[in-house]
A and B are shown apart, each in its own frame.
Chain A
Amino acid sequence: MEKRIRVLVAKPGLDGHDRGAKVVARALRDAGFEVIYTGLRQTPEQIVEAALQEDVAVIALSLLSGAHNHLFPRIVELCRQKDMSDVLIVGGGVIPDTDIPGLKAAGVAEVFTPGTTTSAIIEFIQTNVK
């Protein structure tokens, strides 16, 4: 049997909006991924530690508080430090288009903005996971 892709769905920072994270987590699970959800208020350190412990191939970050420019690159950086550069990191939330090039340059593979379908997210992960 083909090994199922393991995904950590994570909520960095203090943001409590988890409708999107939970919908995405469930859609990924229904699509055959193994999904671990961190719950709210995770520090970058906690997220990367969980990703390491759970041996995931993907970290999917959800943030609607506007702190993405600070928190997303920090998580990428911590992954690099822990020799986890092969982990695919994607993010989503209320993120202005103008912030996306900076996040991608920092190492976030893709940023999904409001209105994205779960099937688009699933397809991106399946195509890009290492």
Chain B
Amino acid sequence: MCTANTESLKQKMAEYTGKVEKALTKFPERKNLPQNRVYTPLDVQGLDYEKDLGFPGQYPFTRGVQPTMYRGRFWTMRMYAGFSTAEESNKRYRYLLESGGTGLSCAFDLPTQIGYDSDDPIAEGEVGKVGVAIDSLADMEILFDSIDLGKVSTSMTINAPAAILLAMYIVVAEKQGVSPDKLKGTIQNDILKEYAARGTYIFPPKPSMRLITNIFAYCSQHVPNWNTISISGYHIREAGSTASQEIAFTIADGIAYVDAAIKAGLNVDDFAGRLSFFWNAHNNVLEEVAKFRASRRVWAKIMKERFGATNPKSWMLRVHTQTAGSMLTAQQPDNNIVRVALQTAAAVLGGTQSLHTNSKDEALALPTENSVRIALRTQQIVAYESGLADIVDPLAGSYYIESLTNQIEKETWEYIEKIDEMGGAVVAIEKGYIQREIQESAYKWQMEVENKQRIIVGVNQFQVEEKPVEGLLRVDASVGELQKKKLAELRARRDNTLVEATLIKLEAGCKDESTNLMPLILDAVKAYATLGEICGIMRKVFGEYQAHVSL
């Protein structure tokens, strides 16, 4: 890739290393620095441009999935939002769209994510806290009121009950006069990382994988532009993993989903083009860029070589990104604006398809409207002013970036091989292997921070005396009561005989493994059966996942 006299270079490199080796002993040791201090053509020997990098939009997609990348259009600026009631969240969505956001991203509260209605005793205290409470189609109608679902693309962070929320979305769209084939968006629908890192699982792996493949099959027929899964490394990284572990464990999950769908009789090219990914944009800018590039190359090889996909769309790792929430500090929170700007740069240089930027106050509470605006403006500044989006994959060819891309790819293959040997991601999770690897990294990070081998500005160095932050967003405590009241009214108003009939059919469907559950769930949703009632039926038939607790 560039002319270099290898022998002469090796000698000069040795001289340089000898010199700095001596000088560096005077400085305190910082952990986790890259292997070398300087990178040269020696580190990218054997790199074959056409084979390893190629052109943007071409196999193996190291340089990006589209030929035009941001010269065509910018990434989708998609801010994750949702809290309190559907009415409140609808207001926030309309505010974001009016502020130049280009896609929606729905956060649901924990009872919704775990399949409980707001009036379930277990939901006490949690309703509307980390996202919006959705109990039935009636709430979903309010959530998207005056938002044209034919125009907007919507991502929903929903996993165990993904089929139900997707069904609600389809029905709301139909009521707006928008047919399912026009819908654009994503459901997270990634149960494996829930077991491994995020915690909002309901059912055991087998029925969960069935629900996922049911969605793949249904959408390939009826909702062809929908991303049926967002295979997520984000939460694995948030739980403490390294960059390589983030993509390795996630790609291993991806392999498990593709395997399951093929086993269920689907043709790989019929669904693989709708698989999408979700990465974390962490603090180390260049490591993150290399991670994005390596992940695309690995996935392309897996889809082409391992699964024999022939449609180029099936080879592409399309990715949504969120800046790292766990890297926000409660200390001197204004500094988080700078962290998020750097993380945004990493995601853009890495070639993301869409991005959520965190707000400065999120180590303390859900973000206020003002801090969300700064976060969105950060993306707009990077897009329009920084020049980072002007050239496709501008860091390609950097000795360091290419070498690091290779290294992360290598580490990823090593993990994938190990997980394959164990019997795949499901087994690796059931054995607690992936959880332990993540915990180990998390603990190591924490100890590095406590020993000051890793400096976090404002946390373990450069601290100041601070007053408590004022003006944080508070979710009104009455939201739980409000949702209970709405539920009671709904149960009195709807046709309960019809609800009962749809639930009986759903139960029968759950018991018959060959039934695709999507049409049955759609019928129940249309009858205004609640999320808790539908999940209750499934809990009864499928049972609940018993987590592997390890320390």
Task: Enumerate chain B residues within 8 angstroms of A13, measured Cβ to Cβ.
Answer: 110, 125-126
B125 touches A115 (CB 8 A): no
A96 touches B365 (CB 8 A): yes
Q: What's the minimum C-beta distance from B470 to chain A, rounded to whole angstroms?
A: 8
Q: Does A80 contact B (CB under 8 A)?
A: no
As a 0/1 sequence over residues 39 to 82 of chain A, the CB contacts with chain B under 8 angstroms (1 = contact) are 11101000000000000000000000111011100000000000
Q: Does B427 contact A (CB under 8 A)?
A: no
B364 touches A94 (CB 8 A): yes
Partner of A65 from the list B124, B126, B238, B240 (CB cut-off 8 Å) is B126
* Secondary structure type dominating chain A contacts: loop
Q: Contacts A19-B239, A26-B551, A29-B551: A115 and B330 contacting too (C-beta < 8 A)?
A: yes
Q: Contacts A15-B110, A113-B330: A37 and B551 contacting too (C-beta < 8 A)?
A: yes
Q: What's the minimum C-beta distance from B362 to chain A, rounded to whole angstroms?
A: 8
* Closest A residue, CB atoms, query B114: A14
Interface residues on B, range: 35 or more
Task: Enumerate chain B residues within 8 angstroms of A35, measured Cβ to Cβ.
Answer: 551
Interface residues on A, range: 35 or more
Q: Does B360 contact A (CB under 8 A)?
A: no
A118 touches B446 (CB 8 A): yes
Task: Enumerate chain A residues within 8 angstroms of B472, measured Cβ to Cβ.
Answer: 96, 98
Task: Enumerate chain B residues within 8 angstroms of A39, measured Cβ to Cβ.
Answer: 547, 549
* Closest A residue, CB atoms, query B445: A23
Task: Enumerate chain A residues within 8 angstroms of B439, measured Cβ to Cβ.
Answer: 22-23, 26
Q: Does B443 contact A (CB under 8 A)?
A: yes
Q: Does A16 contact B (CB under 8 A)?
A: yes
Q: What's the minimum C-beta distance from A84 to chain B, rounded to whole angstroms?
A: 22
Q: Which residues of B (103-130) have their CB < 8 Å from a CB of A?
A: 110-111, 113-114, 116, 122-126, 129-130
Q: What's the minimum C-beta distance from A22 to chain B, rounded to whole angstroms?
A: 5
A26 touches B125 (CB 8 A): no
A115 touches B365 (CB 8 A): no
Q: Does B442 contact A (CB under 8 A)?
A: yes
**CA–CA, A118 and B551, complex, Å:** 16
Q: Contacts A66-B129, A66-B130, A97-B469: A115 and B331 contacting too (C-beta < 8 A)?
A: yes
Task: Enumerate chain B residues within 8 angstroms of A69, measured Cβ to Cβ.
Answer: 125, 477
